[in-house]
């Protein structure tokens, strides 16, 4: 059986993104796409489990340009489609409306994949259940992007809003790597201080906590707060920032210290933010960027 560094479970999304200036771009996004490309670009062996209606999104073709990725497609009557409207130039404030969605992942959907990390990269509550996290903990290190547990969909309007995760105290101790953004961290902990929120989440059981912000990324491992700034020269590729950063971090973390992994992740996502779509560069590009702008 093949050995993978990361096994990413989540669906692509047909995204309709409208900037604060009214410009609209249609693209295929989703955490699994941004995460898969980022990890593979660094040379890690990646397996992805995307769920779509193949007539709308053909997932093998979606990842065909990337080395190091094995695709195991899952079928769903519908693909996920999200409308994002950004309200500020830094793209920190946005409204989201779901246009369509997949049937959620079930334990029976998960094939036997030998991976060091099982990375849950759903897009809204119902995509990934708590039972999947409990299942994965028995097989590998567990990485969770908490958006798929906090984003609720109004069944009438399709509007998405964020609410707390009721099962967090039971499930967080099963999570090795947890990712939130600043707003999600406040919802979970009640704290607007990112450092304090990271420490609270660690205290509730998550071994390593990443919190992203438009200015920086922090990681707390129970001993030290690690911080790296984001240094994009433009924001044309802002979509997928957190997914890219988290995936780069957790795969680098398999062989590097927290500080080294965070530096690589921050530099890679800074580069990615300068161009729409998933990261299409190389490790050499990231190392050059680090030398020029970080060290």
On the question of pLDDT at 84 being above 90, the answer is no
Separation between Cα atoms, residue 105 and residue 126, nearest integer Å: 8
Nearest to 160, CA basis, from 127, 185, 124, 184? 124
Separation between Cα atoms, residue 82 and residue 160, nearest integer Å: 10
Separation between Cα atoms, residue 235 and residue 258, nearest integer Å: 26
Separation between Cα atoms, residue 143 and residue 115, nearest integer Å: 12
Per-residue pLDDT at 20: 83
Query: Angle between the 31-41 and 258-272 helix axes, to the nearest 10 degrees?
Result: 110
Separation between Cα atoms, residue 131 and residue 30, nearest integer Å: 22
pLDDT band at 91 (very low <50, low <70, confident <90, very high): low
For residues 67-83, average pLDDT: 96
Half-sphere exposure of 135 (CA within 13 A, CB side): 17
On the question of pLDDT at 32 being above 80, the answer is yes
Sorted by where each begins, the domain ranges of the chain are 3-222
On the question of pLDDT at 45 being above 90, the answer is yes
DSSP 208: E
**In the CATH hierarchy, which top-level class contains the domain 3-222?**
alpha beta
Q: Which two tokens stand for residue 31?
A: 């955490």
On the question of pLDDT at 268 being above 90, the answer is yes
Per-residue pLDDT at 23: 87
Report yes or no: 80 and 11 within 8 Å, Cβ to Cβ: yes
Query: Rg (Cα) of the chain, in Å, rounded?
Result: 17
pTM: 0.95
Separation between Cα atoms, residue 263 and residue 248, nearest integer Å: 10
DSSP 54: T
Q: Is 108 exposed, middle or buried (CB count within 10 Å of its CB: 0-12, 13-18, 19+)?
A: exposed
pLDDT in tens, 204-242: 999 999 999 999 999 999 999 999 999 999 988 888 999
Nearest to 106, CA basis, from 82, 117, 122, 93? 122
Nearest to 136, CA basis, from 2, 240, 6? 6
pLDDT in tens, 120-160: 999 999 999 999 999 999 999 999 999 999 999 999 999 99
């Amino acid at each position: 059986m093949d050995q993978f560094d990361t096994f990413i479970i989540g669906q692509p999304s047909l995204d309709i993104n409208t900037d604060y200036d009214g410009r609209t771009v249609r693209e295929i996004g989703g955490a699994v796409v941004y995460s898969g490309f980022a990890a593979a670009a660094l040379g890690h062996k990646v397996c992805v489990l995307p769920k779509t209606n193949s007539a709308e999104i053909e997932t093998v073709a979606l990842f065909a340009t990337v080395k190091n990725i094995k695709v195991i497609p899952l079928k769903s009557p519908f693909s996920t489609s999200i409308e994002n409207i950004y309200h500020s130039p830094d793209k920190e404030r946005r409204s989201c409306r779901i246009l369509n969605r997949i049937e959620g992942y079930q334990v029976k959907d998960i094939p036997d994949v030998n991976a060091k990390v099982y990375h849950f990269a759903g897009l809204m509550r119902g995509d990934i259940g708590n039972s999947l996290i409990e299942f994965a903990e028995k097989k590998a290190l567990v990485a969770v992007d908490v958006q798929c547990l906090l984003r609720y969909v109004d069944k009438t309007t399709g509007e998405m809003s964020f609410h707390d995760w009721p099962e967090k105290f039971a499930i967080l101790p099963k999570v090795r790597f947890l990712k939130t953004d600043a707003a999600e961290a406040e919802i979970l902990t009640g704290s607007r201080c990112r450092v304090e929120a990271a420490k609270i989440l660690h205290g509730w059981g998550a071994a390593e906590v990443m919190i992203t912000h438009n200015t920086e990324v922090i990681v707390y491992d129970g001993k030290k707060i690690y911080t790296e700034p984001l240094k994009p020269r433009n924001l044309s590729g802002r979509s997928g920032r957190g997914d890219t950063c988290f995936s780069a971090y957790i795969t680098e973390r398999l062989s590097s210290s927290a500080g080294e992994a965070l530096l690589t992740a921050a530099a890679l996502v800074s580069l990615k933010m300068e161009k729409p779509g998933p990261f299409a560069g190389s490790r050499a590009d990231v190392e050059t960027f680090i030398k020029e702008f970080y060290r």
